[in-house]
Amino acid sequence: MNLQPNSQPEQTVAGTSNYSRAPRMAKEDRRDQLLTTALNAFADGGYHTTSMDDIAAAAGVSKPVLYQHFPGKRELYLALVEYTLVDLSAKLDHSLAASDVNRIRVESMIDTHFEFVEHQPQAHRLVFSADLLAFPEVADRLNNFYDGIAGIIASVLGPNVGIPHTQAAMLGRGLVQMVQTAAVYWAQHPESATRQEAQQQVFRLAWGGISILDEDWK
């Protein structure tokens, strides 16, 4: 499945017949195309504003085709959320495992986040900006995701600075959100700085706070 922003709904080509019809595709290909289209559509307008008709039209097929590949709108949406979170989690894990030095780790995770926001803005908006509260499962799933990261950060943070684990988790979660927000802000104001500059600022802010936690602890 291609989650990059560049995939476009195909155009029906006028062939020998002037009858407009989507070209026949292999099942998997069609499914992938529908997923990508749905991702973009949802990210663009949110869950409720985006109808199945819209998605089908954007994909250049009719609605029944959509229902042949997915049992319903809800499942389609959940599949996309799940895919995105798994993807991002894997990348963050990878960033974390890339080094043993905490400073490098933090830098790497910040980089991963900026990368994600820059290169997969639809996926990001789908998961972090859309109406999550509507589906409790999604809210739980996202909570889960955040707790995972916060826990990791806490386990890195806590022992070093003598803070109770839950409080370290709280700070970790706040830090993640801080990075994410800053990344989005930068993506919306790309002219303000290069990505590298922006990341560096964010890192200094975060790392500075973390270091102080260590030094200042009484």
Q: Would you tell me which residues interact with DNA (CB under 7 A)?
A: 12, 17, 19-27, 30, 50-53, 60-65, 67-68, 72-74
Which CB atom, from 6 or from 15, has the smaller least distance to DNA? 15
Q: If contact means CB under 5 to 8 A according to the sort of partner, which of a second copy, DNA, none does residue 80 touch?
A: none
Which CB atom, from 78 or from 205, has the smaller least distance to a second copy? 205
Q: Shortest gap between Cβ of 125 and a second copy (angstroms)?
A: 7
Which distant-in-sequence residues (6+ apart) come within 8 Å of 87 by Cβ? 3, 123
Q: If contact means CB under 5 to 8 A according to the sort of partner, which of a second copy, DNA, none does residue 27 touch?
A: DNA
By CB under 8 A, name the binding residues for a second copy: 45-49, 125, 129-134, 150, 163-164, 166-167, 169-171, 173-182, 185-186, 189, 192-193, 197-198, 201-202, 204-213, 216
Q: If contact means CB under 5 to 8 A according to the sort of partner, which of DNA, a second copy, none does residue 65 touch?
A: DNA
Q: What is the dihedral of CA 86, 89, 93, 94, to 10 degrees?
A: 70
Q: Shortest gap between Cβ of 132 and DNA (angstroms)?
A: 17
Burial environment of residue 110 by CB neighbours within 10 A (0 to 12, 13 to 18, 19 or more)? buried
Task: Find the DSSP H helices in 46-164.
Answer: 52-59, 63-69, 73-97, 102-119, 121-128, 136-161
Q: If contact means CB under 5 to 8 A according to the sort of partner, which of DNA, a second copy, none does residue 131 touch?
A: a second copy
φ and ψ at 8, to 5 degrees?
-115, 150
Length of the chain counted residue by residue:
218
CA geometry: angle 121, 127, 130, nearest 5 deg: 95
